Amino acid sequence: MQLTGTAAIVTGGASGLGGATAKALAAKGAHVFALDLAASIEVAPHPDWVTYVEADVTNTDQVQAAVAQAADSGVPLRTVVNCAGIGTAGRVVSKKGPHDLDAYRKVVEVNLIGTFNVLRLSSEAIAKTEPLADDQRGVVINTASIAAFEGQIGQIAYASSKGGVVGMTLPAARDLAQFGIRVLTIAPGIVDTPMMAGVSDEFRATLAEGVPFPKRLGRSEEYAQLAVSLIEHDYLNGEVVRMDGALRMSPR
């Protein structure tokens, strides 16, 4: 599928994986609508190739309005990349007691329910576009994590939410096949994003050493490159692709 002359939505599009993806899609000729929270948009660069839209992925009204803006932009909405996400650390039971339920619920709400919210509302809009070759209309790429498969100690909330994203990939692809919409998921390993900003260089080096090859952290631009490749490869559907340098996470 060609991106030139189409609209694309990227959640978490003000920085990190989303920011790099927005830039890559724009470079391919897409009109990019980057959804993010107001605080993130305020400190983001504002290049002329992206339209920022304030939206919380868990808020149906805000997402619906953002989707409508993209769908009414004058070019067909064909692409959605869900990068918005949060993480928290906490064991099921620790010295402080059981895991805080509200903290667990918040991670699942943003990472899993928020992803599904954008998926369902954007797919409805994509389904109304004119079909391309092979009756294709568009593609949705969600973001999981290798924690979905090898969640570490203290990652119970994050791993649960990302495991849910993995689990909905195939049924979503099957549900949306009738509309010519493909659904794919990228499961990154350890990527050097703003979420890693507080990590010391020493600990960063330790993390990189655990990656079989190449022995470094992943880059947001590599996620974006993979996303573009998946979008352009029309026969990829219902698949989860790991981007992790062959890393398999240890318990801690």
List % helix, strand, coil for the chain (3-state, nearest 5).
45, 20, 35
Reported in sequence order, the residue ranges of 37-86 that DSSP labels E, i.e. its strands, are 50-54, 77-82
- Among candidate residues 83, 192, 62, 76, the one with its CA nearest the CA of residue 131: 76
- Among candidate residues 233, 132, 247, the one with its CA nearest the CA of residue 189: 247
User: Chain centroid to CA 142: how far?
Assistant: 4
User: Chain centroid to CA 218: how far?
Assistant: 15
Among 52, 158, 223, 235, which one carries the catalytic annotation?
158
What pairing do the DSSP bridges indicate for beta strands 97-98 and 93-94?
antiparallel
H or E stretch covering 113: none
Q: How far apart are CA 251 and CA 198, in angstroms?
A: 22
Q: Across-strand partners of 7?
A: 31, 77
- Among candidate residues 14, 13, 2, the one with its CA nearest the CA of residue 43: 14
223 part of the active site = no
Q: How far apart are CA 152 and CA 137, in angstroms?
A: 38
Catalytic center residues: 158
